Structure 1
């Protein structure tokens, strides 16, 4: 039986085990997929053990490990290098290859909602690995403007500079066509308030990367203003399918509804 996992700290909120169980069953693959809480000080040792396991195919990576996972990988593809973060590691001949399928997930979620990144003004709220994936999707899709807002001015400035954007404070996000919440605010068990700017126009789109819950304060706030909303579920499914394809060489036979 093949073995895979999702690692993070905390990790109890993850729906990845259920998603990959469905993918594996539909595709005829015997797969054990675990949610593993890995404190930062145990990340290197955990990955070392999995490198040595021939049944291990790879792992999804979530907060707070995305940047460190890239550094600990043996090789990285273009998506991970561009983002400076990895959300998936694939074991190939005892080596761990880093990738970032979050970029594909962002693009797919917006495309499914009929929202174009090309020519759009994109405001990203957050400065972590997920925010970098949004910035890379916006950059490579031809967004007209990329703004990055975060509590830490230095981190926001560094992220914006890496993707040809500009940094701003949470209180001064420029008018945009697409507003993205790339922070944990609104996730089950965390702070519950909206980070959507007060002057966000009603004809804009609000996209929350959180998928637990599906309807967050950010999206509820946007809906109340008449904005189009995009949930994190579409991104979650798309990045999961892209991850499965990296591990097994083909897309899952069935996508969950």
Structure 2
């Protein structure tokens, strides 16, 4: 057992995780005597892992990556309401009595780099979200709460419709086939000032080793903000193409750091310093 507080990130595989670099940086910057490391945990070993850690008073909790974000839920004692709504857990915190509570910090992490823009009044907010996987669930829930009308695109539009009905009921949201955005459009968008349009790649398409994302930027209204949650490469083809056409962009590392910041507070009880964000992003992109 560790002799000082520690947290971990678990998954299968786990070697690619950037979480140890992020949390390690903040532990050093904050002067906190603690550790953060990666732990390979298979689906078959998940229950045993939690059983062992539950009895370790130095273990503050863990971040959860694929494929455990949903499988871990029945093994926990409590769920934060947002994690329950999203139906996925990416952070587990051990209480002093050994109880385990599941949280989802992906939603907060996604919204964090949008904070300044979301603080402004808008006539209308619309987001085009590409993908219907686990990350998209958190993004749909977050943007719905932030007052966006959503267009959710997936390979299976029925799955997209079901996700909207579950996570964003009551709104005039739209489900559409992902390949709709692959071909150019001459649609005339509402270009009044005060409209906030967001394009989000919430899929792994465009990631290193994955197929390219087919998105024609004629589907992005003037003044759109293009946000790609993919972290490798740091500048995806979507972001590069959007920048060349004059759109503002947000990189996936911004979301990664945002969700980690919320988890760090849960693990170690302090908000990590922000002064070194630019250096941290450079470190993570090496």
TM-score (norm 2): 0.80
5 Å-filtered alignment, 1:1-257, equals 1-92=4-95, 93-112=97-116, 119-143=124-148, 145-162=149-166, 163-164=168-169, 165-172=173-180, 177-188=197-208, 190-201=209-220, 202-254=222-274, 256-257=276-277
Moved over 4 A (4+): 112-118, 173-176
SS at match of 2:38: strand
Distance 1:26 1:220, change over 3 A: same
**Structure 1 residue 251, shift from structure 2 partner:** 0.9
Structure 1 unaligned blocks of 5 or more: none
Q: Which has the larger radius of gyration?
A: 2
| Closer/same/farther in 2, CA of residues 7 and 218 from structure 1, 3 Å limit | farther
Q: Distance in 2 between matches of 1:7 and 1:185?
A: 23
Measured after TM superposition, the shift of residue 11 of structure 1 is 2.2
Deviation at 1:85, TM superposition (A): 0.9
CA shift for structure 1 position 236: 1.6
Task: Decide whether the 8 Å contact of 2:27 with 2:35 is kept in 1.
Answer: no
- Please report how far the alpha carbon of residue 226 of structure 1 lies from its aligned counterpart in structure 2 after TM superposition: 2.4
CA distance in 1, matches of 2:120, 2:70: 28
How many aligned residue pairs are there?
Answer: 255
Query: How far apart are the structure 1 equivalents of 2:11 and 2:79?
Result: 20
Residues 203, 170 of structure 1: alpha-carbon distance in 2 compared, 3 angstrom cutoff: same
Q: Is there any run of 5+ residues in structure 2 with no aligned partner, and where? A: 182-186, 190-195, 278-286
- Provide the secondary structure at the position in 2 that maps to 1:66: coil
SS at match of 1:35: strand
Q: Residues 179 and 214 of structure 2 are in contact (CA less than 8 Å); yes or no, is this contact kept in structure 1?
A: no
Taking structure 1 as the reference length, the TM-score comes to 0.88
